[in-house]
Structure 1
Amino acid sequence: MVSERSLAVLRAIVQDYVASREPVGSKAIVERHAFGVSAATIRNDMALLEEEELIAAPHTSSGRIPTDKGYRVFVDQLTEVRPMTRAQRHAIETFLGESSDLDELLARTVRLVAQLTRQLAVVQYPSFGSARVRHIELVSLAPDRVLCILITDSGQVEQRVAELARRIDDETLAALRARLNEVVGGKAMADAADALSGPFDDVAPVDAEALRTLATTLAEQARAQRQDRLVVAGAANLVRTEQDFAGSILGVIEAIEEQVVLLRLFGEMAGDEHPVAVRIGRENASFGLGEASVLSSAFEIPGRDVSRLGVVGPTRMDYSHSIAAVRAVARYLSRTLGEN
């Protein structure tokens, strides 16, 4: 059983190792932290921590470093998350508040989180899993060019231009619009895409080709809202910490490039009850990230699936600061997107 003082020694080792990247010895702990006991007592505590596999000796020196298990205990015992300063909160609101649309907002978000945490930042692009089609509008741009507008019940508007093989008049376009709305009105996005991909046997042959072109375009719009993808920034931060990885960081980079890996990991982390979920080292081994830590927090846009924002970095990470940054930005996104 690890005592309260031993846990405090573990916290000191984690904090000092994160700050210096150097193994931490008992003498340094006595000098830097007010434990009020001798170095010999601290060494006894460190011996207990080593028996519990919470710290380890990287080589023959007297210093110790945290293990994955030690980081886990540290994070689980983390009662105080260092709050963002007023200046940092203002920077978040100012920098993200200048975004003109969702694409720019998410691009700015990962850049900001990468800067705040000095880690690789990742944001999951929200998808319309729970949205339904409210209306389809077709606007004639030319006799053979039509703007296809897909409107969801959450107010999201998706637009694409369809090029037709022949000219159609306004009356025909109105009839095709009515037919398409009849097929997909009220359907979930995935169901709408399937319905638009099916046959339209009750349409006059002369209009069948135009209807198929319009339906295909709209189906692509509906499917695009279901495509899970990530926006990433701060790869240079990962390279900067390469020495924190025992092996090559190529495996970590490959796992990140395989976006489906992080999306699966984010999916597992969604079940975590904490505001910011933390997966450390070997807990990520099955995803090819056994030497990395991943932090993520949820944010939500009304009418879309819950998405996640997070960071990926070495286990030697400033967890308190990174958790605070991820949590603050995720809350800002939820609040701002919920208002718009």
Structure 2
Amino acid sequence: MRADRRMLVLRAVIEDYIQSQEPVGSSALTKGHQLGVSSATVRNDMAALEEEGYLIQPHTSAGRIPTQKGYRYFVDRLTKRVPLSPAQRNGIDAFLSGSVSLEDVLQRSARLLAQITGQVAVVASPALSKSRLRRIELISIAKTTVLVIVITDTGRVVQHAVSLSYSNTLTEQALANLSDSLNTQCRGYTLAGVSQQMLTGSYKVTDEQTAVLLQDLSTVLSQMAEEEESGNLYMAGRSQLTHRHTVPIGELASLLDALEEQVVLMRLMTAQSELSQQHGGVSVVIGSETQTPGLMHASVVTSGYGHAKAERSTEELSEYDLNDTPIAFVGSIGPTHMDYATTMTAVRAVASYLTQFLSNSEEE
């Protein structure tokens, strides 16, 4: 019973500190929370929590503030999700539904998330390596050149001119038929999977020229996937963070420097987005858990979006196909005293919208 009450005291300290960013004392806790015990008992519980590493007393005779261990305990047991109000949901739909392209909706999502949380929002675009084929078109543009146009399930259109080592004698109809065959065989595969299917697929290739063309196309698609292992980052909210007076100047400078290391952020948040499916759709790393020097006093909340959907049976899926993993991420970065409940809800909501946006794009 004492241990349970102690953890209720810890939760109360963290909730009050998130609201005020001021050290919390026992008297304030007994007045603001129905703990059912005296101020002296709460003071003893806080001392015990400090000994156990959940709280720290920044100054003698001052109240206490949470440590990273305290925040981790709090977040892991944060069962109370703050639901978005109907007005907030309608606001999200209205703000994002005006998007005219995937790039536009990602930029809008970053701005919206930054506005909701008051923190830095980061949204990644889907990389070609994680996108799936919706359609491929082959067009002859010269005697030794075929233009390959790839349309992915995320709505991206990528084209590449394939230089042939011979004079192309395939007719437009022959290329159209080959395109149709590839679309039938490879729709729903990643580009690496399409590349492999071009080499091993059950095509009725009756001439050497078509066989060589497929080999060339396979090489091009494989290179396209390898060259873009990660997507672009859309970021918003840095100016809002600099105007917050609750973040010490030194910590703020380190955080802003870390935000410039986009490769590091991409690696961290991609890994966390994949783990988020094991934690109710959102993952939280705090301070040293980020393994990033500039984020030692920050927390990163991440969710994946656009989960890959297999369009083929289990028997047809190859090692190049994606399972139920996100194709990109959305996240929020802020001080460790962030409002975790609100931030987690907002990140999850925006990720859900983006997943639905991509799903609707696939059906068009």
Q: Scaled by the length of structure 2, what TM-score is found?
A: 0.74
What does 1:227-266 correspond to in 2, within 5 Å? 227-241=230-244, 243-245=246-248, 247-266=250-269
- Aligned with 1:244: secondary structure? coil
| Superposed displacement of residue 227, structure 1 | 3.1
Tell me which of 274, 281, 291 is aligned to 2:279.
274
- Aligned with 1:23: secondary structure? coil
What does 1:174-193 correspond to in 2, within 5 Å? 186=186, 188-190=190-192
Contact 1:242 1:248 in 2 (8 A): no
Tell me which of 294, 309, 316 is aligned to 2:330.
309
Q: 2: CA distance between counterparts of 1:118 and 1:277?
A: 19
What does 1:164-183 correspond to in 2, within 5 Å? none
Answer with 275-284 or 298-307: which moved more. Answer: 298-307
Unaligned runs of 5+ in 1: 197-201, 204-212
- Aligned with 2:301: secondary structure? strand
Answer with 100-109 or 327-336: which moved more. Answer: 327-336
| Superposed displacement of residue 52, structure 1 | 1.0
Q: Structure 1 residue 24 and structure 2 residue 24: aligned?
A: yes
Q: Structure 1 residue 300 and structure 2 residue 306: aligned?
A: yes
- Aligned with 2:127: secondary structure? coil
Q: Name the amino acid aligned to 2:279.
A: H
Answer with 242-251 or 4-13: which moved more. Answer: 242-251
Q: 1: CA distance between counterparts of 2:294 and 2:130?
A: 31
Contact 1:148 1:218 in 2 (8 A): no
Answer with 136-145 or 94-103: which moved more. Answer: 136-145
- Aligned with 2:110: secondary structure? helix
Q: 2: CA distance between counterparts of 1:274 and 1:283?
A: 16
| Superposed displacement of residue 219, structure 1 | 7.3
Q: 1: CA distance between counterparts of 2:162 and 2:306?
A: 35
| Superposed displacement of residue 315, structure 1 | 0.2
- Aligned with 2:122: secondary structure? strand
- Aligned with 1:295: secondary structure? strand
Q: Relative to 1, partners in 2 of residues 1:90 and 1:143: Cα closer, same or farther, differing over 3 Å?
A: farther
Cα offsets for 1:128-173 (capped at 9, x unmatched): 4355557542557999999752135x48451448699xxx999777
**Residue 208 (structure 1) aligns with:** none
Q: 2: CA distance between counterparts of 1:62 and 1:173?
A: 80
**Residue 79 (structure 1) aligns with:** 79
Alignment length (residue pairs):
328
| Superposed displacement of residue 243, structure 1 | 4.4
Tell me which of 279, 290, 298 is aligned to 1:284.
290
Q: Relative to 1, partners in 2 of residues 1:246 and 1:29: Cα closer, same or farther, differing over 3 Å?
A: farther
Q: 1: CA distance between counterparts of 2:150 and 2:269?
A: 29
Q: 2: CA distance between counterparts of 1:251 and 1:190?
A: 38
**Residue 207 (structure 1) aligns with:** none
- Aligned with 1:271: secondary structure? helix
Cα offsets for 1:66-111 (capped at 9, x unmatched): 1111111111221212111111111111111111211111111111
**Residue 38 (structure 1) aligns with:** 38
Contact 2:129 2:226 in 1 (8 A): no
Q: Name the amino acid aligned to 1:291.
A: H
Q: Relative to 1, partners in 2 of residues 1:63 and 1:295: Cα closer, same or farther, differing over 3 Å?
A: same
Q: 2: CA distance between counterparts of 1:180 and 1:287?
A: 50
Contact 2:192 2:221 in 1 (8 A): no
Q: 1: CA distance between counterparts of 2:9 and 2:303?
A: 29
Q: 2: CA distance between counterparts of 1:11 and 1:245?
A: 24
Contact 1:124 1:228 in 2 (8 A): yes
What does 1:1-340 correspond to in 2, within 5 Å? 3-131=3-131, 136-138=136-138, 148-152=148-152, 154=153, 156=155, 158-160=157-159, 186=186, 188-190=190-192, 222=225, 226-241=229-244, 243-245=246-248, 247-269=250-272, 270-272=274-276, 273-275=278-280, 276-286=282-292, 288-300=294-306, 302=308, 306=326, 307-340=328-361
Q: 2: CA distance between counterparts of 1:92 and 1:159?
A: 30
Q: 2: CA distance between counterparts of 1:149 and 1:100?
A: 21
Answer with 260-269 or 45-54: which moved more. Answer: 260-269
Q: 1: CA distance between counterparts of 2:121 and 2:135?
A: 36
| Superposed displacement of residue 176, structure 1 | 7.8
Q: 2: CA distance between counterparts of 1:135 and 1:97?
A: 25
Q: Name the amino acid aligned to 1:63.
A: G
Contact 2:162 2:220 in 1 (8 A): no
